[in-house]
Amino acid sequence: MTEARPRVAIIGAGPAGAFAAASVLRARGDAEIDFFERLPTPWGLLRGGVAPDHQEIKRLETTFDKQTLQRGCRLFGNVEVGVDVSHAELMQHYTAVIYATGAQTDKSLGIPGEDLPGSWAATEFVAWYNGHPDYRGLEFDLSGRRAVVIGNGNVAADVTRVLTLGERELERTDIADHALDALRESRIEEVVVLGRRGPAQAAFTSAELRELGRLEGVDIRVDPNEIELDPVSLAWLDEEGTFTARTNVALLREFAARPERPEAGRRITLRFLRSPVEIRGNGRVEAIDVRRNELVRTDDGALRARPVDEAVETIECGLVLRSVGYQAVPLPDVPFDERHFVLPNRSGRVLSVDGELLPGVYAVGWIKRGPTGILGTNKRDAEQTVSCLVEDLAAGVLPEPPRPEPIDALLAERKPDLVTVDGWRAIDGTELEHGRRRARPRVKLASREELLAAASTSAGEPVAADGHR
Amino acid sequence: MTYVIAGSCIQDDSCIEVCPVDCIHPKPGAPDFETAEQLYIDPEVCIDCDACVEACPVDAIFPDFELPSKYDYALDLNARFFAEQGSTAERTAA
């Protein structure tokens, strides 16, 4: 049995990390928990991913705050594990280290022209409009009349909405100011959304799909011929189709039956069974070639899109956003499963490349299971990881950290500008105050300099000398 | 009346934990839980106690008479989930 209070480092203060901290505190109220966060701000994709017009979901931050920071969890923001402090150093000071770093990059399409200016990962666009400080300098050319979004998931739906929402709607959100300014000048009239498979396989939630059909001043176009279900999909929908898939198909039929509204200022066109084969342009994106697919059932029962051998269709466009999935990147000094893009783990206990347990190292969220599920999925995921951790603590299999003192002195020396809970409260207060003045939920500080300057206005030392409060 | 879960549900299961009549589904472990995009309240069973509203961290639950217009579809959607995917009685009998 470990006698001392367990000291737990959580790497990444996003939803998975926050749910994990709350779960540790429920099981072991005596635990001392420190978040290490690369950004000066906590809550990860809740701040930097969730679309600005979905403010109600961002209310989850109140619960995270209540269940973690207000219960004594400390924040070391603007500190990057693997750069500012090493995994080995963490293991010197902590009983357990939980990686909750998520999946920071996007999958590529692997087609010619993908790197042309004007072709972006949707995640870059998301990070830009949500005020992620590393993406502030990006310049999206919104002067073309048509944008093409590749993918049929919720990120694809988010970027499609942000590209088509009116100025008035955007002004009611916490979208970053630089994005608001750029979108005001946008000349995009149509967003074409390409799905590789059919309407029954679209990964949109029905809530996101429905929303696309209810935007003010935006027409939604679906070609009835493209959503007619082939026999394979009909059988699949009947036998294995989810409630969401059935609801989506019904919604798409309703969209397809709507009369065209030429008076609408903007238009969303949903295309199905279409895969991009090449992005073309002279020095920048001018068009995308797409090929038609048909669905076939493979030997393992899955429905696959198979290209049909016919002429490609060319869609002229000035902007391409690909949204075909997130992908995790390897972390320094911890094992990485290059095939599944996760930390190799068993129920959250991290394994070496040879499959041996690494005592005291855990994973939670996307870096553990891959980029699947919705926010709440992380709660149950965190409970699984934390129950392993609590079990290991009770069994006494976690070695005492060699250095009994907190890591504070080392951090104070290396990162004098780290952001503590007080620093974050100062940032939060500044942003909310700016928001109040402009009748917006929040006005984000969108550069590292501004964020750090706001953080340093907080009273008190960067790191409390005696560790936990 | 009944309470209704709207599309901003994040499938945090706090509401399931507090519901005294077990009318919020699918529950973790149910076969359709992993593929569900949100949780639903069975209008046939809900006793309008308000406990789930208090528990929801993203304010996704409304009494049917206060449902915001952007969620006007949700009353029907919650009911249809139980009609198509199995009622609370069927789910709790299993």
Q: Does A372 touch chain B (CB under 8 A)?
A: no
pLDDT, tens only, A254-275: 999 999 999 999 999 999 999 9
Question: How far is it, in rounded angstroms, from Cα A385 to Cα A194?
Answer: 37
Q: Stretch A146-173: mean pLDDT, rounded?
A: 97
Confidence at A468, pLDDT banded by 50, 70, 90: very low
Q: Which of A307, A326, A345 is the last residue of a domain?
A: A326
Question: How far is it, in rounded angstroms, from Cα B28 to Cα A255?
Answer: 33
A84 and A112 share a domain?
no
* b (16+ CB within 10 A) / e for A256-281: beeeeeeebebbbbbbbbbbbbbbeb
- Chain B residues with CB under 8 Å of A244 CB are 35-37
Confidence at A466, pLDDT banded by 50, 70, 90: very low
Q: Does B69 touch chain A (CB under 8 A)?
A: no
A188 and A286 share a domain?
yes
pLDDT of residue A104: 86
Q: Quote ipTM for the complex.
A: 0.95
Task: Tell me the sheet residues that pair with A441.
Answer: none
* A59:B57 CB<8 A: yes
Confidence at B94, pLDDT banded by 50, 70, 90: low
- C-beta of residue B64 within 8 angstroms of C-beta of residue B2: yes
Q: Kindly tell me if the per-residue pLDDT of A357 is higher than 90.
A: yes
Question: How far is it, in rounded angstroms, from Cα A305 to Cα A200?
Answer: 13
- C-beta of residue B44 within 8 angstroms of C-beta of residue B1: no
Question: How far is it, in rounded angstroms, from Cα A353 to Cα A351?
Answer: 7
Q: Kindly tell me if the per-residue pLDDT of B50 is higher than 90.
A: yes
Number of domains in chain A: 2
A464 inside domain: no
Q: Which of A260, A292, A326 is the last residue of a domain?
A: A326
Distances (CA, A) of A234 to A152, A244, A272: 19, 15, 15
A163 inside domain: yes
Average pLDDT of chain A, as a whole number: 94
Domain of residue A299 covers 106-326
In this complex, which of B11, B38, B58 lies closest to A377 when CB atoms are compared?
Answer: B11
A291 and A336 share a domain?
no
- Chain B residues with CB under 8 Å of A57 CB are 8, 10, 58
- C-beta of residue A209 within 8 angstroms of C-beta of residue A255: no
pLDDT of residue A3: 60
A353 and A448 share a domain?
yes
A241 inside domain: yes
Question: How distant is the Cα of A63 from the closest Cα of chain B, in angstroms?
Answer: 6
Q: Does B87 touch chain A (CB under 8 A)?
A: no
Token pair belonging to A157 = 């739906």
Nearest C-alpha neighbor of A151 from the set A125, A130, A129, A127: A125
pLDDT of residue B88: 93
A311 and A424 share a domain?
no
- Chain A residues with CB under 8 Å of B34 CB are 373
* b (16+ CB within 10 A) / e for A455-469: beebeeebbeeeeee
Interface of A with B in 190-249 (CB under 8 A): 205-208, 210-211, 214, 242-244, 246-247
Q: Kindly tell me if the per-residue pLDDT of A305 is higher than 70.
A: yes
Give the rounded percent of residues in chain A with a pLDDT score beyond 90: 90
Of the residues B8, B16, B37, B75, the best mutation for testing chain A's interface (the one with the most A CB atoms within 10 Å of its CB) is B37
A467 inside domain: no
Q: How many residues belong to chain A?
A: 469
Question: How far is it, in rounded angstroms, from Cα A93 to Cα A104?
Answer: 27
Token pair belonging to A190 = 């149509």
Token pair belonging to B82 = 């139980």
**DSSP-derived 3-state class of residue A33:** strand
What is the distance between the terminal CA atoms of chain B, rounded to a whole angstrom?
27
pLDDT, tens only, A3-48: 679 999 999 999 999 999 999 999 999 999 999 999 999 999 999 9
* A246:B36 CB<8 A: no
Q: Kindly tell me if the per-residue pLDDT of A354 is higher than 60.
A: yes
Q: Does B8 touch chain A (CB under 8 A)?
A: yes
- Structure-token match 């944008």, residue found: A147
Residue type, A256: A
Q: Which of A275, A307, A326 is the last residue of a domain?
A: A326
Token pair belonging to A25 = 């505190």
* Other CB atoms within 10 A of residue A287 CB: 18
Confidence at A460, pLDDT banded by 50, 70, 90: very low
Distances (CA, A) of A346 to A34, A440, B29: 24, 44, 19
Nearest C-alpha neighbor of B9 from the set B43, B66, B55: B55
Q: Kindly tell me if the per-residue pLDDT of A464 is higher than 60.
A: no
pLDDT of residue A300: 86
Task: List the CATH number of the domain containing A75.
Answer: 3.40.50.720
A394 and A432 share a domain?
yes
pLDDT of residue A341: 94
Half-sphere exposure of B11 (CA within 13 A, CB side): 21
pLDDT, tens only, A320-347: 999 998 999 999 999 999 999 999 999 9
Question: How far is it, in rounded angstroms, from Cα A363 to Cα A417?
Answer: 27
Question: Can you name the CATH fold of B3-93?
Answer: Alpha-Beta Plaits (3.30.70)
Q: Kindly tell me if the per-residue pLDDT of A148 is higher than 70.
A: yes
| Domain residue limits, chain B | 3-93
**Is residue A286 classed exposed, middle or buried when 0-12, 13-18 and 19+ CB atoms within 10 A define those classes?**
middle
pLDDT, tens only, A197-228: 999 999 999 999 999 999 999 999 999 999 99
pLDDT of residue A428: 98
- Closest residue in A to B77 (Cα) is A247
Question: How distant is the Cα of B90 from the closest Cα of chain A, in angstroms?
Answer: 17
Question: How far is it, in rounded angstroms, from Cα A124 to Cα A139?
Answer: 11
Question: How distant is the Cα of B56 from the closest Cα of chain A, in angstroms?
Answer: 9
**Is residue B65 classed exposed, middle or buried when 0-12, 13-18 and 19+ CB atoms within 10 A define those classes?**
exposed
A74-77 and A313-316 strand pairing = unpaired
**DSSP-derived 3-state class of residue A421:** helix
pLDDT of residue A239: 87
A246 inside domain: yes
Of the residues A243, A246, A380, A384, the best mutation for testing chain B's interface (the one with the most B CB atoms within 10 Å of its CB) is A243
A371 and A414 share a domain?
yes
A22 and A130 share a domain?
no
A214 and A116 share a domain?
yes
Question: How far is it, in rounded angstroms, from Cα A356 to Cα B50?
Answer: 48
Distances (CA, A) of A87 to A79, A439, B70: 13, 44, 47
- C-beta of residue A119 within 8 angstroms of C-beta of residue A281: no
A27 and A100 share a domain?
yes
A81 and A196 share a domain?
no
A190-194 and A266-271 strand pairing = parallel
A266 and A375 share a domain?
no
Chain centroid, CA B35 distance in Å: 15
In this complex, which of A207, A210, A376 lies closest to B12 when CB atoms are compared?
Answer: A376
pTM assigned to the model: 0.94
A202 inside domain: yes
A462 inside domain: no
* B37:A210 CB<8 A: no
Could you write out the DSSP letters of every residue in A265-279? SEEEEEE-SEEEEEE
pLDDT, tens only, A47-99: 999 999 999 999 999 999 999 999 999 999 999 999 999 999 999 999 999 99
Confidence at A364, pLDDT banded by 50, 70, 90: very high
pLDDT of residue A265: 92
- How many interchain CB pairs under 8 A, A with B? 63
Q: Kindly tell me if the per-residue pLDDT of A461 is higher than 90.
A: no
Question: How far is it, in rounded angstroms, from Cα A337 to Cα A363?
Answer: 13
A150 inside domain: yes
Q: Stretch A151-170: mean pLDDT, rounded?
A: 96
Nearest C-alpha neighbor of A206 from the set B87, B78, B27, B46: B78
Q: Which residues does A188 contact at the CB level (< 8 Å), separation at least 6?
A: A142, A144, A145, A146, A147, A163, A164, A266, A318, A319
Q: Kindly tell me if the per-residue pLDDT of A240 is higher than 90.
A: no
Task: List the CATH number of the domain containing A199.
Answer: 3.50.50.60
- C-beta of residue A38 within 8 angstroms of C-beta of residue A14: no
In this complex, which of A57, A210, A243 lies closest to B36 when CB atoms are compared?
Answer: A243
